Amino acid sequence: MYKCLLLIVASLFLLAGCGGGGGDSSPTAAGSVQQTQKAWVRAHLDDVYLWYDEIIDVPAANYASAPAYFDALLVKSRDRFSFSMPLADAVSELQEGLETGYGVRWGWAAPGRLFAYYVDPNSPAAASITRGMEVTAVNGQAPASLTAASLSNALFPDQPGVSLNLTMRPPGTSSTQTSGLTSATFSGTTVSQPLLLTLPGGGQAGYLLFNQHLFTSEQGLIDAFSFFKQQGVGELVLDLRYNSGGYLRIAGELASMIGGAAVQGGVFERLIFNGRHPEKTNDPNKTYRFSALDSTGAPLPLLGLTRVFVLTGQQTCSASESIINGLLPYLQVVRIGSITCGKPYGFLQTNFDQQAYFDIQFEGVNANGTDDFKSGFAPTCQVSDDLNFPLGDMREARLDAALYYISNNSCPPAPAVALPKAATSKAVPASGEVQLLGQKPGLKLLR
C-alpha cells in the first residue's frame, strides 16, 4: 500500500515480548492473548496518550482485536491522526524507506475525475504514467462508479505482484491509452534532484521537492543543500505540498540548513507531554534545537537564508509544519499554495506483540511557545495545485507564484489554473485543492 506518514514521529522501540511462536493455538489460548493485548492497549493509552483524561471507556470484549480496541478508545473529537500497523510494515516503511504498490498518488480534482498527482521515479508506474494523466477506467470500470473501498483496494495493494489495468488520458489529448501495472516493493524517492532556476529578472533560486522525513532522507537533503551552497543560492523554494511528515530530527536538520549560523542553538521545537509526565516536558533532551551537525557529527551545509518559500497543500503535515513553525520566530516563511493539514502533535512509536502503535503523546511548540496551526497554516499566496506541468517546471502555478514573489516581494495576481483537459472537452476550474487518496494521518516521530 502506498503510505504516507506525517509531522514528528517519535520512534521509541519498546518491543515487549508477548505471544511468541510454538505456543498453544487453542481458542482459549488465542482469547487469552487478545485479552493481554487489549489490557496493554488500555494501560498504555491511560499512561502516555496526550488526551488520556478524555478517553471514554468502552468494553474491550466488543472489539475483535487489540488494534480495533485501540482505535475505539481514541478521542476522535481531538485526534484524527493516531493509528496502528503491523510492526514489520513500520520497520519497512519508516526505517528502510520501502513502499509497496504502484508508486502513484492519486486524487479527485473534480467530481468523477481522478488524476495522477505524483509518480515516484523508482516505482512500477514511472515508465507509463506521468503527473496530470486522468484515469478514465480502473480494470475496465469508471473510477466514479467504484466504491471507495473497491477503488482503494485496486490502487493501493498491500502485496507485490498485484496486477492493475488503467485506461488513462494524457493532458491536452482526447485519446486514451491502457497501462498494465504490477505492484512491487521499491525504495521511495523522498528527496528529488535539486534544481537551479534562473529568475526572470536575473539571479538564481534553488528548488527542492521533499516528500517524507525519513532517516534515509538525510543524505539526500545534505547533498541537495551542499549543491545549493556551492552555487551560492540566496533564495530557496522548498516543495512540501505532498510531504505528510516523519521524523522530527530530520525536520530539525533541514530547518538548520535553511537558517544557518544565525539560528544555531535556538529552540526549533519544544515538546509538551500530558499531565502524568511533567518530567518529560521539563527534560532538556525533549527540546529540539537548531544544530550545525548531522547525525554522525559531521558539519551540515548551512545556507543562512533570511527567508524561505514553502509550497504547501492539505498533505503538508506534521514534521513539514514543524519546519514552518520552527523557523517563523527567526526568518520569513512565505507559504505558497493552500492550507496545511494542521498537526502540531506527534508520536512515540510503541511496539507490542508485533504491532506498532502510533498514539499522540506530545504537542510541539516553537521558540515563542506557539503552535497556532491546529487548523493548518494559511497560505501567504493562495494558489491551486497545477497538473498541467511537472513538479519543478517554472510554469507550474505554485512554483511560478513563488518565483514571482521572489522578484516582486508580493503575491502574483490570482492565476487561472485549470485542470488538464481532453482536446474535445471543456476545462473544469480547479477548486484549489484535492484530497489525495490512500493517505495516512501525518506522522511526527521522535527519535
Q: Average model confidence (pLDDT) for the chain? A: 88
The percent of residues above 70 in pLDDT, for the chain, comes to: 86
Sheet strands (E) in 236-299? 236-239, 245-247, 267-273, 287-289
Show Cβ contacts of residue 287 under 8 Å, excluding neighbours closer than 6 positions: 267, 269, 270, 271
**Which of helix, strand or coil describes residue 126?**
helix
Same domain for 142 and 205? Answer: no
Does residue 61 surpass a pLDDT of 80?
Answer: yes
**Which of helix, strand or coil describes residue 325?**
helix
Predicted structure pTM score: 0.88
Same domain for 146 and 88? Answer: no
In a domain, 434, yes or no: no
Same domain for 234 and 91? Answer: no
How high is the pLDDT of residue 16? 30
Show Cβ contacts of residue 391 under 8 Å, excluding neighbours closer than 6 positions: 118, 131, 192, 209, 239, 399
Q: How far is CA 225 from the centre of its chain?
A: 21
Does residue 442 surpass a pLDDT of 70?
Answer: no
Q: 140 is in which domain, residue-wise?
A: 100-187
Closest alpha carbon to 138 in 116, 122, 110: 116
Mark residue 103 as left, alpha or beta (left: phi above 0; alpha: psi -120 to 50; beta: remaining).
Answer: left
Same domain for 242 and 369? Answer: yes
- Residue 117, domain CATH: 2.30.42.10
Could you report the per-residue pLDDT of 81-94, keeping only the tens digit for each? 999 999 999 888 88
Among 332-336, 349-353, 410-414, 421-425, which stretch is predicted with the lowest mean pLDDT? 421-425
Q: pLDDT grade, residue 33 (50/70/90)?
A: confident
In a domain, 83, yes or no: yes
Same domain for 245 and 338? Answer: yes
Please identify, among 140, 168, 187, the residue that sits at the C-terminal boundary of a domain: 187
Same domain for 376 and 309? Answer: yes
